[in-house]
């Protein structure tokens, strides 16, 4: 099965909070990342968390990490239509340099 | 600061033809990555260079794919001959030294369609 798994699709209303979830399998993951991809564009790093942390907040973004359950989430507060995009979770592992393993992506649709 | 540049942006070829993609990383970045992103999937690493040496090419289909970074700056990725399943977006990324906590900066990608 996939090393990094995400749900395919999430739809929210403008102004609501969005929570995008990700599970991973490798306990040696060192850093976990959230990337955003808009149509026709490359990947933009949103935020990352080191594996010995359980939470990181950056403006409207909150990352929660449950290392025991190997579960990562990204919460976007006050979601805007400009947040509509595909969000990818990725991990890097011990002894794998900076090689990233990506999930399949979650398409976030924000309705006005 | 200029970002990662890739060309061409789009390419349409017939199966069994050859194709090459070019990447110019951010100036001074030692590490360069090529990813393949098939429609509806996340990117998959094909090859990672550190300067002009290969760090990891374990997921590169070496019977048809090749990549080089001869002078440790620009890189080319070639497919010869192409198959239908090679249709994807090919993303290039770079990072300063390749350590785990570094941000990888991605280019806009080259969208390949094999008919």
End-to-end CA separation in angstroms for chain A: 36
At A43-101, the pLDDT tens digits run 999 999 988 889 999 999 999 999 999 999 999 999 999 999 999 999 987 666 678 89
Give residue A1's pLDDT. Answer: 44
State the alpha helices, DSSP H only, in A3-62. Answer: none
For chain B, give the mean pLDDT. 93
pLDDT at B36 over 90: yes
The model's pLDDT over B49-65, given as tens digits with 9 standing for 90+, comes to 999 899 989 999 999 99
Q: Does the beta-carbon distance from A97 to B98 stay under 8 Å?
A: yes
pLDDT score, position A2? 53
Q: Which of A43, A44, A102 to mutate to test the interface with B (most CBs of B within 10 A)?
A: A43
pLDDT at residue B19 is higher than 60: yes
Report phi then psi at A100, rounded to 5. Answer: -105, 140
pLDDT band at A28 (very low <50, low <70, confident <90, very high): confident
Burial class of A86 by CB neighbour count within 10 A (0 to 12, 13 to 18, 19+) = buried
Give the 3-state secondary structure percentages of chain B, helix then strand then coil, rounded to 5: 5, 50, 50
| Structure confidence at residue B110 (pLDDT) | 96
Best CA proximity match to A19, nearest among A69, A83, A68: A83
Residue B99: what pLDDT? 79
- Given pLDDT bands bounded at 50, 70 and 90, which one contains residue B12? very high
Does B104 contact A45 at a Cβ distance shorter than 8 Å? yes
Strands annotated E in chain B = 5-7, 10-13, 19-24, 31-37, 44-50, 53-56, 65-68, 75-79, 88-95, 105-106, 110-114
The reply to whether residue B108 touches residue A42, judged by beta carbons under 8 angstroms, is yes
Percent of chain B whose pLDDT exceeds 90: 83
Residue B100 touches chain A, beta carbons under 8 Å: yes
Nearest CB partner across the interface for A42, out of B31, B56, B91: B91
State the pLDDT at residue A51.
Answer: 86
Looking at the predicted structure, is the pLDDT value of residue B25 above 50? Answer: yes
Residue A18, chain B, CB below 8 Å: the answer is no
Distance from CA of A29 to the nearest CA of B (A): 10
């Amino acid at each position: 099965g996939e090393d990094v798994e995400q749900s395919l699709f999430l739809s929210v209303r403008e102004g609501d909070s969005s929570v995008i979830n990700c599970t991973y399998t490798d306990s040696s993951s060192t850093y976990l990342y959230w990337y955003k991809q808009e149509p026709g564009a490359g990947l933009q790093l949103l935020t990352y968390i080191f594996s010995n942390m359980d939470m990181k907040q950056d403006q409207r973004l909150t990352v929660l990490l449950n290392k025991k359950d190997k579960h990562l989430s990204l919460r976007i507060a006050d979601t805007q239509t400009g947040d509509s995009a595909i969000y990818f979770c990725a991990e890097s592992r011990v002894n794998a340099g900076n090689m990233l393993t990506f999930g399949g992506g979650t398409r976030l649709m924000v309705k006005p | 600061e200029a970002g990662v540049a890739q060309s061409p942006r789009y390419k349409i070829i017939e199966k069994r033809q050859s194709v090459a993609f070019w990447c110019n990383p951010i100036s001074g970045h030692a590490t360069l990555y090529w990813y393949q992103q098939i429609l509806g999937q996340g990117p998959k690493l094909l090859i990672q260079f550190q300067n002009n040496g290969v760090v990891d090419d374990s997921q590169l289909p070496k019977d048809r794919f090749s990549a080089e970074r001869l002078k440790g700056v620009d890189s080319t990725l070639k497919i010869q001959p192409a198959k239908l399943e090679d249709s994807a977006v090919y993303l290039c990324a770079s990072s300063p030294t390749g350590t785990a906590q570094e941000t990888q900066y991605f280019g806009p990608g080259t969208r390949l369609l094999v008919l």
